[in-house]
Structure 1
Amino acid sequence: MGNSYGTLFKISTFGESHGKALGVIIDGCPAGLDINEDFIQQELNRRKPGQSKITTQRKEDDTFEILSGVFEGKSTGTPICIVIHNKDAKSKDYSHIADRYRPSHADYTYDVKYGIRDYRGGGRSSARETAARVAAGAVAKIMLEKQGIKISAYVSQVGDIKCPDYPSLDLSQTENNIVRCPHSETADKMIALIDEIRKSQDTIGGTVTCIIENTPAGLGEPVFDRLHAELGKAMLSINAVKGFEYGSGFEGVKMRGSEHNDAFYKEGDKTKTRTNYSGGIQGGISNGEDIYFNVAFKPVATIMQDQESINAQGETVTVSGKGRHDPCVVPRAVPIVEAMAALVIADFYLINQTAKLRD
């Protein structure tokens, strides 16, 4: 239960952090897509561990293997299975917490739900599971690119350090630094803060902003399957996410309706809005403007400090931080946010195409 996402473009992920492998089955991908394996690897490389001094030093190359659904470089319309083998798992790093619940981890909740848990890196609850999502998201991006839909995410905040709003940024600069912030001056400050936090054996949170450009109007379903509701669900399913807002978000409560309303106008044969506080979505359906949203990530729960907790017997114990962990998750979360956004948009796009066929 809970391991699948989507209606027509549907994925099911499998595997654990320290198991033999993890992967994804993509069902519903249209036939005839050119499956660019170099692009899929490029997306996995953006998420993989060991990228820089401000990420975990676990060394996984995250090379993948396609087991089915692709023939002579094209999707066949049958389920695509992608597998990524674990190569640098160090399970002994977790033997000290085999019966101990780490603060703010899923150790206790998994144990109480299933009566058993894989303590090696958190097992299924580990963020390593997101590698499978990124692989699936890359396939969704390939499909969406044919429709001219572009998805870009970047780190917009680390701790108290924020970069300017996205309309003033050159998003082509996002990959030019290790924190994935397209504003170089802000990026330098973010990197310095994360490095300082890392050296103090602590962690820090941050925000990833995502922009979806060229989305056609009409994607989304009333009432319970609104586009922004599905985007929110997809983002909140990512490990360490604590908040989601789209459009004006929480800042919109400070405005009056006369300021916040997005006035319509016609530009040639296109209907547009003069402002975009709606974030490209009205009534749960895309209106053709840029869709933009923010995703808040908590500080990584594993810190290299002793913390008080309890064990499975309810006894007070000390949990010591060991192993290899990110001091701040947001630089590696950027491709995950993009992947989940791509999966949502790909699914709604196919739903819309099906509806048009019915008409």
Structure 2
Amino acid sequence: MFNSFGNIFRLSSFGESHGKGIGGVIDGFPSGIKIDLDFVQKELDRRRPGQSKITTDRDESDKVEFLSGIFQGKSTGSPIGFIVWNKNQQSKDYENIKNIFRPSHADYTYQLKYGIRDYRGGGRSSARETISRVVAGALAKMALHQIGINITAYTSQVGHIRLDEDYSKYDFSKIEDTPARCPDLEKGKEMVDYIAQIKEEGDTIGGVVTCVIKGCPIGLGQPVFGKLHAALGNAMMSINAAKAFEYGDGFKGLKQKGSEQNDVFYNHDGVIETKTNHSGGVQGGISNGEDIYFRVAFKPVATILMEQHTVNINGVDTTMKAKGRHDPCVLPRAVPIVEAMAAMTILDYYLIDKTTQL
């Protein structure tokens, strides 16, 4: 039950970081959607480890294999099954911590909840699980593209280095031109250099991913418990290391008066629009046709290559120093994951809207 995401469009994922593979089953995907397998792989390549000097050195090709639900290049409407085989695990790197609770990891809570845990890379709590989300998100993007909805995310802050919060100032075509996935190339270089410095120190750093959804139709979401922004927040906060979510002006809007914050309506060539978009494209929990934009804050990766104090499974004080290959900053690889979760949410709510209309 809690390994599934969505209502009508639904992803159920399986697999562990150091198991045989990571995969999933997608149900509720519309039939007749042309499936571009190269696009799916490209999305996975954006998430894969070992893609630059500021990501983990784990060398995985992350090639997806579809098992069902696609025929002659199109979705059939039946469940789409897929798997990505793990090929570069180094489980020995985790032998030294199998009886130790790593600070700020899920080790302690998993052990107490289930009475057992896979200490190899965190098992099910590993960010490698997000492979399934990226595959499902890539398919959702294809379906959304057919109705004119496009989703773009980018790194807007790493540590103290940050962009202006107005996304309209940036050229999204430049996002992939830097390993940091930042549309401002100068700031992107600063981010890369800073992350490389942090990695050299054996430490980690956090930051913010901004996401923009363009072309979303009016009417997605429900006014009470099915608010669209709440669904997006739920999706984002399910991503590993995500610590905060805000949409529209968010906390910045607290400094404004109502007269400054309100999005005034006007008639634009026969179409009702708003002069501003402080609301972030959602009002009363329902999309209003304007751009939806939000930000997701990610904490520094919990695994640092420094000695730390902790306790073992018997509660005895000890110290530990992590081994293995780890990201000094999740932001660059989190960008396609944020896009994927946004795409799944929007497609799901689009399908819900279609089923509730008379």
TM-score, scaled relative to structure 2: 0.99
1:270: how far off? 2.5
Residues 39/3 of structure 1: CA separation in 2 closer, same or farther (3 Å cut):
same
CA distance in 1, matches of 2:305, 2:197: 14
The match for 1:179 is: 180
CA distance in 1, matches of 2:186, 2:195: 15
SS of 2:67's partner is: strand
The match for 1:86 is: 86
The match for 1:268 is: 269
The match for 1:75 is: 75
Residues 269/80 of structure 1: CA separation in 2 closer, same or farther (3 Å cut):
farther
Quick check: 236-245 or 188-197, which moved more? 188-197
CA distance in 1, matches of 2:89, 2:226: 39
The match for 1:290 is: 291
CA distance in 2, matches of 1:281, 1:52: 36
Residues 289-335 of structure 1 deviation map (CA, whole Å, 9 limit, x = unaligned): 00000000000000000101011111111111110000000000000
- Structure 2 residue 214 is the aligned partner of structure 1 residue 205: no
The match for 1:138 is: 138
The match for 1:5 is: 5
The match for 2:54 is: 54
- Structure 2 residue 148 is the aligned partner of structure 1 residue 152: no
1:268: how far off? 2.5
- Structure 2 residue 39 is the aligned partner of structure 1 residue 39: yes
1:95: how far off? 0.6
Q: Gaps (5+ residues) in structure 2?
A: none
Matched letter for residue 166 of structure 1: Y
The match for 2:29 is: 29
The match for 2:252 is: 251
The match for 1:241 is: 242
1:24: how far off? 1.2
The match for 1:167 is: 168
Matched letter for residue 54 of structure 2: I
Matched letter for residue 98 of structure 1: K
| CA root-mean-square deviation | 0.7
CA distance in 2, matches of 1:14, 1:267: 48
1:272: how far off? 1.1
- Structure 2 residue 119 is the aligned partner of structure 1 residue 119: yes
Work out the number of aligned pairs and report it.
357
The match for 2:355 is: 354
Matched letter for residue 323 of structure 1: G
CA distance in 2, matches of 1:331, 1:36: 24
1:269: how far off? 3.8
The match for 2:279 is: 278
CA distance in 2, matches of 1:176, 1:252: 32
The match for 1:17 is: 17
CA distance in 2, matches of 1:124, 1:271: 47
* Percent pairwise identity: 60
SS of 1:68's partner is: coil
1:82: how far off? 1.1
Matched letter for residue 58 of structure 2: R
TM-score, scaled relative to structure 1: 0.99
Matched letter for residue 4 of structure 1: S
The match for 2:342 is: 341
CA distance in 2, matches of 1:31, 1:283: 32
